[in-house]
Every structure is written in structure tokens, then in C-alpha cells.
Structure 1
Amino acid sequence: MLVLEDVNVFYGAIHALKGISFRVDQGEIVTLIGSNGAGKSTSLKTISGLLRPKSGKMTFNGENLAVVPPQTIVAKGISQVPEGRLVFANMTVIENLEMGAYLRKDKAEIKKDLQRVYELFPRLKERSSQLSGTLSGGEQQMLAMGRALMSKPQLLLLDEPSMGLAPILVKQIFSIIKEINESGTTILLVEQNAHMALSIANRAYVLETGKIVISGDAKELAASEEIRKAYLGG
């Protein structure tokens, strides 16, 4: 589905991604884990078209993504939930959700997808006419996820969905991520909470200073002493 081969990305003179290669197959949850500054968010921004690779190959369903503008990448079936949520604070919940479907023309299907989002996140239905900037952090995370789902993605990119949330909300968000995946959406998850990420993922890649240093089955990595010491707090 998504394949990156030897991708290099720079921020000016800074070499942020150093020849990374990984793949995400249809139906999977794949997670990128690593410490701050490892290149996790940069990887997602590159896939979304917000950053351009200097070299390397990036394909989605066999098509070259490296030269495609961000809005076309969304139309092709990739949607990102950005780090920090970035909801439109001065717009209502329903307006934010409608923005997620901006590129779509299938009105009947949009209605169905809106109901699906409300089933996943009942709180959003209760708050549909409320300004998004007045929602709690957890509600804004739900809204950012719902907005991304409104574009009907084949591949959902999640950047730090648990950041700043209370433990009980983190569990809820991860349970919903699993449900989204089980209903047919492939997920690439960037997450500092490595323990939670590995608990729901099929496969994982560990990034360190812009390079992939370890990859494998998520359950095996969660059981690895090396990974436990480095990323799971012992």
C-alpha cells in the first residue's frame, strides 16, 4: 500500500531523515516509535506532502507520491491527524467535520460518514454546535480524528494522538483507533507512548536520529529487553 525506499529529507542544512525505508500494508496498524527529534513527525509530514524528500522513492498504491501536492494526496486516500490536534478553533464541531469532507462530492455518503463519526465519538454529536476552541483536549483529539475520517481515507496517519491526555482518555482513544482499523482503515501511528502503540500495532519501526534502527512484529518488540529498556521505561 505505502512504501518508502531510501527517503532523505532535509530542514535546510539539517539531515532529518537519513535514507529511511519502510512499508505499510493494507489493513495493518504500523507504528513508528522513538524519542523526541527522532524523525517520526517528519516522516508523516513527508508522506502527507507537507515536506518534500530530497531523494528516495515514496509510493502509495503504486503511484509516486514524492511530486504530488498535499490536497491531491488527501484525494488519493491519505489523511493526517496532526500533532497538537490543530482544530479550527473559531469554527463549530460540525463545521470542522464538514471541512474534513471538503474535497468530496458524494453528499449521501458524507452524511453516512458523519453518522459513523458520531457513533465513534458520541461527545462530538452532543457538542456539534459548540466552538471547537472551547472543547477539552480529549474532545479536540476526537474532533481532529473525526475530521480526518470525513475525507474517507484508506490510510490514516496519526501523529501523537495521546499527547497531553489523561490516562483514562488515552485508553479510550487507543480503543477507538483499534475500532477504526477493524472497520477497514489502515493506520500509520506515531506515538511517544511506545507501550500503548506496541499493544495495538501489527508491526513497528524504531527511529533514532532520522534512521530506522530496529523493525519487526510489535508484540515481539514489546517483549524485547532492549526495547523495554530504551523506550518502555525498563
Structure 2
Amino acid sequence: MLTINDINVYYGNIHALKGVSLEINQGEIVTLIGANGAGKSTLLKTISGLLKPKNGEILFEGKPIGGKVAQSIVKMGLSHVPEGRRVFANMSVEENLELGAYLRNDKQGIREDFDKVYQLFPRLHERRKQLSGTLSGGEQQMLAMGRALMARPKLLLLDEPSMGLAPLLVKTIFNIIEEINKTGTTILLIEQNANMALSIADRAYVIETGKIVASGSAEELTASDQIKSAYLGGH
């Protein structure tokens, strides 16, 4: 579904991604783990069109998207839930969700997706008339995910969905990510909580200082001593 070949991305003089290659097959949950500043968010922003690669190629369902504008990438079926949630604070929950569907005009489908989002996130239904800025961190994360789903993505990019959430809520969010995947949405997940991410992922990549240094099935990486000591708090 997504193929990235040897992309390089710069912030000014900083070489943020160095020859990164990876692939995601339809129906998978793939996680990207790495320390802060390793290039994880940069990679998601490059895939979703917020940053342009200097070279290399990004193919989504076989079509090149590297350097395309973000809006046309969303239209092709790729949604990005950014780090830090970024909900529109002075708009209601319902208005935020409507914005997620702004490129669509299939009224019936949009109504069905509202229902689906409210089924996945009953709390959002309870708070649908409330201003988003008054929601808790966990509720805002649910809203950011719900808003992305309103675009009916084939591939969902999630950047640090558990950041700043209480452990119980983290579990809830991860259960919902699995639920979303079961309905047929492919997922690329970036997550500080590597244990949690590997527990739901099919495959994983490890990124260090802008380079992919390891990849394999989630089980292989969970069992690797090197990964354990670096990312999983083991020895």
C-alpha cells in the first residue's frame, strides 16, 4: 500500500531523514519506534505532504505522492493524526468531525461515518455539542482520531497517540486502534510506548538519527536484546 524508497529530507542544513526506505502492506499495523528527535514525526509529515523530500520516492497504492500537496494526499485516502492532537479548540466536537469530512460530498456516507465514530468513541457522542478546547487530553486524542476517520482513510498515520495520557486511557486508545484496523484501515503508528506499540503491531521499524537501523516482525523486535535494552526498558 505504501512504499518509501531512499528518501532524504532536510530542515535547512539539518539532514533529518537519511535514505529511509520502508513498506506497509494493506491491512497491517506497522509501528515505527525510536528516540525523541530520531525523525519519526518528520517521516509522517513527509508521507502526508507537509514536508517535501529532497529525493527518493513515496508511492501510495503504486502512485507517486512525494511532494504532492497535503490536500490531494488526503483525497487519495491517507489521513494523519498529528502529535499533540491539534483539535480546533473553539469549535464543537461535532464541527471538528465535520471538518474531517470536508473533502467528501457523499452525505449518506458521512452520516454513516458519524455513527461509526460515535460507536468507537461513545464519549464523543456524549460531548458532541461541547467546545473541543474544554475536553480532557484523552477526549481530544479520541476527537483527533475520529476527525481523521471522517475522511474514510485507507491508511491512517498516528503520531504519538498515547502521549500524556493516563495508563488506563492508553489501553483504551490502543484497543480502539486495533478496532479501527479490524474494520480494514491500514495503520502506521509512531509511539514512545514501544512495548504497547509492538504488542498490537504486525511489523516494526526502528529509526535512529534519521536512519532505519532495524526492521522485522513485532515478535522478532520484542525478542531482540538490543531493542529490549534501548527501547523496552529491559536488560
- Whether these two folds match at TM > 0.5 is yes
Deviations 1:177-211 (A, max 9, x none): 00000110000000010000000000000000000
Displacement of 1:224 in angstroms is: 1.3
> Matches of 1:59 and 1:15 in 2, distance apart?
22
**Which residue does 2:98 correspond to in 1?**
98
Q: Which amino acid aligns with 2:146?
A: G
Match of residue 189 from structure 1: 189
Q: Does 1:20 align with 2:20?
A: yes
Aligned to 1:85: 85
Contact 2:97-2:146 within 8 A present in 1 as well: yes
> In the alignment, residue 28 of structure 1 is paired with which amino acid?
E
Residue in 1 aligned with 2:74? Answer: 74
Q: Deviations over 1:35-78 (max 9, x none)?
A: 00000000000000000000001100111101311000000000
- What is the DSSP-based 3-state SS (H/G/I as helix, E as strand, rest coil) of the residue aligned with 2:9? strand
Distance in structure 1 (CA, Å) of the matches to 2:198 and 2:223 = 10
Aligned residue identity for 2:97: L
Q: What is the Cα deviation at residue 225 of structure 1? A: 1.2
Gaps of 5+ in 2: none
**Equivalent residues, number:** 234
Alignment-derived partner of residue 213 in structure 2: 213
Alpha-carbon offset, residue 219 of structure 1? 1.3
Contact 2:207–2:213 at 8 Å: present in 1 too?
A: yes
Q: Deviations over 1:99-151 (max 9, x none)?
A: 00000010000000000000000000000000000000000000000000000
| Over 4 Å off, 4+ runs | none
User: Any gaps of 5 or more consecutive residues in structure 1?
Assistant: none
Question: What are the residue-to-residue correspondences of 1:1-234 with 2, within 5 Å?
Answer: 1-234=1-234
SS in 1 for 2:15: strand
- C-alpha distance in 2, partners of 1:219/1:98? 39
Per the normalisation by structure 1, the TM-score is 0.99
Whether the 8 Å CA contact 2:93–2:124 is kept in 1: the answer is yes
Counterpart Cα distance in 1 of 2:77 and 2:12:
29
CA RMSD of aligned residues (A): 0.4
> 3-state SS of the aligned residue for 1:44?
helix
Distance 2:225 2:170 in 1: 24
Measured in 2, the distance between the counterparts of 1:55 and 1:88 equals 34
Q: Percent identity?
A: 71
TM-score by length of 2: 0.99
User: Does the CA contact (< 8 Å) of 2:92 and 2:130 recur in 1?
Assistant: yes
1:162 maps to amino acid: S
Residues in 2 aligned to 1:171 and 1:219: alpha-carbon distance in whole angstroms: 20
